[in-house]
Amino acid sequence: MPITEEEWKRKLSPEQYRILREKGTEAPFSGEYLDSHEKGMYRCAACGAELFSSGTKFDSGTGWPSFTEPANLKNIDLRDDYSEGSRRIEVACKNCGSHLGHVFDDGPKDRGGKRYCINSACLLLGKK
Ligand code: FE
């Protein structure tokens, strides 16, 4: 059974709810995983799906955790987002539908050129 918004509100912190369920964005340079270099798997903070491996994380200087590629494309949903006028590509969790961030084409050229710009509040690091 799908989880209702009331249940998400109980399960998540207010900040997580705002970002994951209402497509919010955390303030840049504020998230707990921004400078994290610990090894492990970043999972969806809402449902636990595997999203990004620490091995693909890089310091983009943008203020949000950045990854070159998802750990498992099957767990990722990409959607057109015109909310700020120009087209961006929203990254969402395919398993629970929660918003995660956006993906841009200005990532490291030698690693595929993508920058998955993901809110720390949407992630939970399972350490290895
Ligand atoms: Fe999820």
Of 50, 73, 67, 124, which Cα lies nearest the Cα of 101?
67
CATH code for the domain defined by 5-127: 2.170.150.20
Dihedral of CA atoms 120, 113, 22, 2 in degrees, nearest 10, equals -90
Q: Is 73 helix (H, G, I), strand (E, B) or coil?
A: helix
In the chain, domain spans: 5-127
Q: Has residue 78 got a pLDDT over 70? A: yes
Q: How far is the CA of 68 from the centre of ligand 1 (A)?
A: 19
| 14-29: pLDDT as tens digits | 999 999 999 999 999 9
The closest of 96, 54, 56, 50 to 73, measured between CA atoms, is 50
> Measured in angstroms, how far is the CA atom of residue 3 from the centroid of ligand 1?
11
Q: What is the pLDDT of residue 128?
A: 65
Return the active site residues.
117
User: How far is residue 15's CA from residue 99's CA, in Å, rounded to a whole number?
Assistant: 13
Give the pLDDT band (50/70/90) at residue 80: very high
**Sequence-separated (6 or more) residues with CB below 8 Å from residue 15:** 26, 121
